[in-house]
């Protein structure tokens, strides 16, 4: 691990993020966004914010963490250091855990917080005491609205399933999105069959909820958001759409 000097942060972090932020749902960050996120780390004085980089045994950078440390004096009987993590991205789970190990070894810092972590954060299972990892809030970290169903379905990959499914989509805003798509392990094609003959039918909002792979079609069907014509299609759709690791944007925009 090494802590970056202020004048090298932007040059190192931006391309490293593009290589390591690979979960479904991440977005590209233009320079103006980086300057907003890293404003305190790029300037002297004020809050003590740092960016540390992890390198592999060959000296190649493969992860970074942006964090802040501060000293809490209240209550006076128990002064302690506290840290806050803004970003932690690595090219593998092992790299991310190595960066957390670095943070937890910082002297005098007893508590770490983070506003955003993925719902399947590997840290939760890696810590010695799982009860020490506390989730304070779950919230809708990212919303998706598909504008072009053809392009969106073709842009992602699908899991292994014994056969494909046909899904009829209803969109009351963009007529081109109304139709039936056949989705299988090999990809997607538009199907000319009558929507009434499809395996499942759903609104554009329901398709968007399942699109990134973090919400199961079977869960959406259980609350009445999917019209299921072939029961076996639900399990197949789950297998096709489910993604691991789970979707995570990680950017406030």
The CATH number that applies at residue 206 is 3.30.1050.10
Please say if the pLDDT value at position 183 is more than 90: yes
Q: How far apart are CA 89 and CA 95, in angstroms?
A: 8
Instruction: Say if residue 18 is in the same domain as residue 128.
Output: yes
* CB neighbours of residue 146 within 10 Å: 18
Instruction: Say if residue 120 is in the same domain as residue 6.
Output: yes
Average pLDDT over residues 179-188: 97
Please say if the pLDDT value at position 252 is more than 90: no
pLDDT at 229: 96
State pTM to two decimals.
0.89
Q: How far apart are CA 55 and CA 2, in angstroms?
A: 8
- Whether 75 is covered by a domain: the verdict is yes
Domain termination site, one of 132, 163, 193: 132
Confidence of residue 253 (pLDDT cuts 50, 70, 90): confident
Instruction: Say if residue 105 is in the same domain as residue 192.
Output: no
* Lowest-pLDDT range of 46-50, 102-106, 206-210, 224-228: 46-50
Q: 107, exposed or middle or buried, with CB in 10 Å at 0-12, 13-18, 19+? A: exposed
Q: How far apart are CA 211 and CA 203, in angstroms?
A: 12
**Structure confidence by residue, pLDDT tens digits, 219-240:** 999 999 999 999 999 999 999 9
pLDDT at 138: 86
pLDDT at 139: 83
Average pLDDT over residues 187-206: 96
- Whether 15 is covered by a domain: the verdict is yes
Instruction: Say if residue 223 is in the same domain as residue 161.
Output: yes
| 224 Cβ neighbours under 8 A, 6+ residues apart | none
* CB neighbours of residue 80 within 10 Å: 12
- Whether 14 is covered by a domain: the verdict is yes
Please say if the pLDDT value at position 79 is more than 80: no
Q: How far apart are CA 69 and CA 149, in angstroms?
A: 44
Please say if the pLDDT value at position 121 is more than 80: yes
Instruction: Say if residue 163 is in the same domain as residue 127.
Output: no
Confidence of residue 140 (pLDDT cuts 50, 70, 90): confident
Question: Is the distance from CB of 186 to CB of 210 less than 8 angstroms?
Answer: no
Question: Is the distance from CB of 57 to CB of 86 less than 8 angstroms?
Answer: no
pLDDT at 67: 97
Name beta bridge partners: 208.
none
CA distances from 225 to 142, 143, 182, 187, 216 (A): 19, 17, 19, 24, 11
pLDDT at 68: 95
Q: Which residue pairs from 101-106 have beta carbons closer than 8 angstroms and sit at least 24 positions apart in sequence?
A: 102/1, 102/52, 102/54, 102/65, 103/65, 103/67, 106/69, 106/81
Instruction: Say if residue 23 is in the same domain as residue 118.
Output: yes
List the CATH number of the domain containing 85: 3.40.630.30
Range of the domain at 208: 149-241
Please say if the pLDDT value at position 46 is more than 90: no
Average pLDDT over residues 36-45: 90
Residue labelled with tokens 């292994």? 160
Q: To 5 degrees, how large is the angle CA 94–CA 238–CA 202?
A: 130
pLDDT at 77: 73
- Whether 7 is covered by a domain: the verdict is yes
pLDDT at 31: 94
Confidence of residue 209 (pLDDT cuts 50, 70, 90): very high
Please say if the pLDDT value at position 73 is more than 80: no
Please say if the pLDDT value at position 74 is more than 80: no
pLDDT at 228: 97
Length of the chain: 253
Please say if the pLDDT value at position 69 is more than 80: yes
Average pLDDT over residues 117-138: 93
Q: What is the mean pLDDT of the chain?
A: 94
Average pLDDT over residues 11-28: 96
Domain termination site, one of 85, 103, 132: 132
Please say if the pLDDT value at position 30 is more than 90: yes
Question: Is the distance from CB of 165 to CB of 233 less than 8 angstroms?
Answer: yes
Q: How many domains does the chain have?
A: 2
- Whether 247 is covered by a domain: the verdict is no
- Whether 253 is covered by a domain: the verdict is no
């Amino acid at each position: 691990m090494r802590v970056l000097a202020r004048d090298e942060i932007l040059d190192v972090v931006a391309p490293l993020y593009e290589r390591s932020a690979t979960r479904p749902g991440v977005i590209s960050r233009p320079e103006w966004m980086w300057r907003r996120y890293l404003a305190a780390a790029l300037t002297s004085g004020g809050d003590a914010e740092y960016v540390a980089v992890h390198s592999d045994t060959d000296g190649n950078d493969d992860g970074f963490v942006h964090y802040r440390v501060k000293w809490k004096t209240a209550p006076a009987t128990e002064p302690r250091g506290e840290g806050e993590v803004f970003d932690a991205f690595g090219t593998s789970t092992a790299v991310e855990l190595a960066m957390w190990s670095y943070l937890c070894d910082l002297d005098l810092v007893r508590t770490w917080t983070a506003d955003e972590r993925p719902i399947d954060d590997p840290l939760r299972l890696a810590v010695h005491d799982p009860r020490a990892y506390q989730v304070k809030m779950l919230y809708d970290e990212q919303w998706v609205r598909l504008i072009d169903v053809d392009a969106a379905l073709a842009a992602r990959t699908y899991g292994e399933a014994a056969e494909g499914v046909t899904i009829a989509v209803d969109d009351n805003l963009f007529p081109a999105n109304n139709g039936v798509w056949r989705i299988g392990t090999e990809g997607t094609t538009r199907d000319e069959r009558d929507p009434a003959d499809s395996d499942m039918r759903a609104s554009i909002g329901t398709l968007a909820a399942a699109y990134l792979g973090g919400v199961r079609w079977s869960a959406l069907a259980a609350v009445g958001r999917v019209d299921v014509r072939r029961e076996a299609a639900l399990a197949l759709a789950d297998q096709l759409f489910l993604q691991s690791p789970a979707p995570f944007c990680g950017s406030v925009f």
